[in-house]
Chain A
Amino acid sequence: GESVGLHLPTLSVQEGDNSIINCAYSNSASDYFIWYKQESGKGPQFIIDIRSNMDKRQGQRVTVLLNKTVKHLSLQIAATQPGDSAVYFCAEVTSGTYKYIFGTGTRLKVLA
């Protein structure tokens, strides 16, 4: 289940289950969104992106859903594996600008 830690909210899931990580974005003008994965001691890595003319995009085991009406973004990870344990950040930006806005992040813990 979800819990709020000192700073980062944490989502704990059983290995093999699906994970859903949510992100509320702030700027209604944002038209490009990215999910990043950050493992301990490493830099953020790109997972998947979506533009505002889409509401769903699928990758390998990951799906991003975009709801512009409520300014909500979600990342779904199918059949979660131990290697998925990391902090996940969403980022939003408006085309033609450089102002990437990062969410606070969610820590995903995969339980064996």
Chain B
Amino acid sequence: NAGVMQNPRHLVRRRGQEARLRCSPMKGHSHVYWYRQLPEEGLKFMVYLQKENIIDESGMPKERFSAEFPKEGPSILRIQQVVRGDSAAYFCASSPETSAGELFFGEGSRLTVL
């Protein structure tokens, strides 16, 4: 049973370009979370999605950032017109249900904006 798969693992973009980060949750998991992490800092919540629904996007900047989790395919975190401050590691986690249970994390996507 494959774990949470994120790609790309590393992404380099120039200012103004778009970044698309993908997350395939564990098999059977219908809940996806995205977190952002700066070097030497903790995990900052961005968005929580269930299949075809955004449940809570309160941690995501209102401009340039969007997320989706379609009925088929991976969850996508999209950052438009990237700026240097978007450089960070973006982690996806999944869970089978909304409950007090373990979150399973991917290995992260590291975005570098030149």
State yes or no: do A and B come from one complex.
yes
Q: Which residues of A contact B (CB under 8 A)?
A: 5-8, 31-32, 34, 36, 42-46, 49, 51, 89, 91, 93-100, 102-105
Q: Which B residues lie within 8 Å of A99 (CB)?
A: 45, 56
Residue among B41, B43, B103, B107 facing the most chain A CB atoms (10 A cut-off): B43
Measured CB to CB, the closest approach of chain B to A66, in angstroms, equals 13
Residue with the greatest number of chain A CB neighbours at <10 A, chosen from B48, B100, B106: B100
Q: Are B45 and A100 in contact (CB under 8 A)?
A: yes
Q: Is B42 an interface residue (CB 8 A)?
A: yes
Residue pair A42, B41 in contact (C-beta under 8 Å): no
**Residue of chain A at shortest CB distance from B48:** A98
Q: Which residues of A contact B6 (CB under 8 A)?
A: 43
CA distance A42 to B109 in the complex (A): 10
Known contacts A8-B41, A102-B42, A105-B42: does B108 contact A95 (CB below 8 Å)?
no
Q: Cα distance A95–B95 when bound, in Å?
A: 13
Q: What is the CA–CA distance of A36 and B93 in the complex, to the nearest angstrom?
A: 13
Q: 16 additional contacts, CB 8 Å, given A46-B104, A51-B100?
A: A6-B40, A8-B40, A32-B100, A36-B105, A42-B107, A43-B106, A44-B43, A89-B42, A96-B98, A96-B99, A98-B33, A98-B48, A98-B55, A98-B56, A103-B42, A104-B42
On whether the beta carbons of A34 and B102 are closer than 8 Å, the reply is yes
B22 interfacial contact with A, CB 8 Å: no
Task: Report the Cα distance A44→B101, complex, angstroms.
Answer: 15
